Structure 1
Amino acid sequence: MLRIPQTRYDLALLLDRLTIEGGVDLHLHSSCSDGAKTPQEVARSAKRNRLRAFALTDHDTMAGVVEAKEAAGDDILFFPGIECSAVDLGSEVHILGYFSRLFVSEIEAYLEERRRDRHDRNRRMLSKLRTLGYPIDEDSLTAYGGKGNASVGRVHMALWLVDYGGCESISDAFRALLSEGRPAYVPRPRHSIREVTNVIAKAQGVSVLAHPAQYGWCRCPEHPSTRTRLLERIMRCKNAGIDGVECFHGEATEEERRLLFDVTTELDLIRTAGSDDHGRVDTHAPMYFGSTRFV
């Protein structure tokens, strides 16, 4: 059975090697943030899918990693992880952090600050929703998760709006009310990529840029200009401390994946794969399988 290395360098190499070999899923969410399954259920699904390795990467919290590891046992390699928001040239991007330890004290103060930001934003968005005629409060969200150090956000509001607010789906709730520019939206403080990668590096973690295709960076992948701009963008992220790129995201097309793989390889960064499964039938892709191959 493989063991997770203790150094950042070796951890990065292992993440890359496992991705190239296939059968891994390094981007999964649980009910500790905006996923539908408990950490134990995520681990059991990973085992049922016969994955060789998986990571739990909840938003702004590592509250579920111990439970996921216990449920995984020694039958499957588990990476404790995190997903944090950052800003690149004014636009939001997400950074995945991977660690060798279940308890990462060096990052907890940062995560607690992020959770306070989320709580403040939730309070303001809920106030806007009530003004718009939706009788929702903070207690309403706990029915959809959010206990302890769990991370509550817009997805939980969307789930309430589907059940009680007349929205047809999570996507419908975001389009109508919760996305940027919509009536209930409130921005929250964002840190630079460098600030996020510094926090992860100080905890001996590995930083990976999540799902670049979702930012529109790979649009028209067959055009030479797309490759040129993508090189510039990922080089900027590398200079800000990024160790790798999630080349094989669940919602990326084959053409986008190939472009990201080629550019990431050219820039000597590690390549990772993650479905971004949230455990429910929605806009997110389902969990990968042990038979899934990426290259």
Structure 2
Amino acid sequence: MTEIPLARYLEEATRLGGVDFHLHSRYSDGAQSPRELVDEVLAKRLRAFSLTDHDSMAGVLPVRAALRDLDAQVRFIPGVECSCRFEGQEVHVLGYFTEDQPQAMLDYLEEVVLERQERNRRMIARLNQLGYAISEADLAGTGEDDEIRGRVHMALWLVEHAGFPSIASAFQKLLNEGRPAYVARKKRELGQVAEVIRKGGGVAVLAHPQQYGWCDRPLPGSRTLDCRFSLIRDQGILGVECFHGKAGPEESAMIQAAASRLGLFCIAGSDSHGREDQHAAMYRLESSFFPRDSS
């Protein structure tokens, strides 16, 4: 598939239902190994799915191997989720590919990993100053060798060793923006990330726009949803995650209508992280997204 056929496939598959194009594994901040994720995909009888770990495609080949070992016929689309900035706001872009290891994307992710490691060191230093004796070695013991460690892994350590009742409580007290252990990390602009995805032969999709407050009633002088979608389209975004595990029906309808008006294709993704937390559960075969009379 080339860029446009891949985009067309993603929307057509979403229209059919029973797909999930936004999933995380232990190679970023999910709870499941690639094999465990594939087992759940098969148990949910999904028609197609994508692994979209944060700033990592290290889980793609293990997923492919698990599918091969199980002789599974479900369609798998390699993916990734990248953080970036748009008009001063952090947003996430999903990249979908026809290749398991697109070199342009891998080169970009290698740079991001180094930046994440530096940010981790600075946050660990702050946690130590606050009295939490966590080390880089502690983070290294939380998952797969190629896993991208970050704030979730710090939160997991705080739950296990410092008495925090949940991951969410660790974020709220220490790790969220504005809290004492938080350190910002470098973010590329949305257009830069979209261009890297394009160079890798992929398609760039805006993730969960409702999480950025874009579905709220616009204040006087602020941008409308249509205006924002027009701007991101001009910067290389081809599609939008119109149906998300935490988006309400009204939000999904608003996003889908705006995307259609602007010529952006729509996908569905639960954003499941494989654990009972603030994220939604994986979709299943019975999951439907577009209204029945939508064409």
Q: Output the TM-score relative to the length of structure 1.
A: 0.94
Structure 1 unmatched ranges of 5 or more? none
Listed one character per residue, the Cα deviations across residues 28-80 of structure 1 (whole Å, up to 9, x for unaligned) are 00000000001111111111100000000001111010111222244100000
Q: What code does the residue aligned with 2:200 have? A: A
Q: What code does the residue aligned with 1:99 have? A: F
* Partner Cα separation in structure 2 for residue 32 and residue 279 of structure 1: 12
Counterpart selection for 1:11 from 1, 6, 9: 6
Q: What code does the residue aligned with 1:284 have? A: H
Which residue number corresponds to residue 174 of structure 1? 171
Counterpart selection for 2:129 from 116, 128, 131: 131
Residues matched between the structures, number: 287
Counterpart selection for 2:20 from 18, 22, 25: 25
Listed one character per residue, the Cα deviations across residues 12-35 of structure 1 (whole Å, up to 9, x for unaligned) are 000010011110000000000000
8 Å CA contact 1:26, 1:274 repeated in 2: yes
Q: What code does the residue aligned with 1:143 have? A: G
8 Å CA contact 1:230, 1:263 repeated in 2: yes
Q: Runs of 4 or more off by more than 3 Å in structure 1?
A: 223-228
* Partner Cα separation in structure 1 for residue 221 and residue 143 of structure 2: 40
8 Å CA contact 2:271, 2:280 repeated in 1: yes
Which residue number corresponds to residue 241 of structure 1? 236
Which residue number corresponds to residue 120 of structure 1? 118
Structure 2 unmatched ranges of 5 or more? 291-295
Confirm or deny that 1:207 pairs with 2:204. Answer: yes
Q: Secondary structure at the match of 1:198?
A: helix
Which residue number corresponds to residue 255 of structure 1? 250
Listed one character per residue, the Cα deviations across residues 72-109 of structure 1 (whole Å, up to 9, x for unaligned) are 24410000000001101111000000000112112111
Which residue number corresponds to residue 83 of structure 1? 81
Quickly say closer, same or farther: Cα 1:214–1:154, change in 2 above 3 A: same
Percent identical among aligned pairs is: 47
Counterpart selection for 2:195 from 195, 198, 201: 198
Which residue number corresponds to residue 154 of structure 1? 151
Once superposed, what is the RMSD of the aligned Cα atoms?
1.6
Quickly say closer, same or farther: Cα 1:231–1:22, change in 2 above 3 A: same
Quickly say closer, same or farther: Cα 1:258–1:128, change in 2 above 3 A: same
Which residue number corresponds to residue 29 of structure 2? 34
Which residue number corresponds to residue 293 of structure 2? none
* Partner Cα separation in structure 1 for residue 21 and residue 3 of structure 2: 16
Which residue number corresponds to residue 51 of structure 1? 46
* Partner Cα separation in structure 1 for residue 261 and residue 223 of structure 2: 12
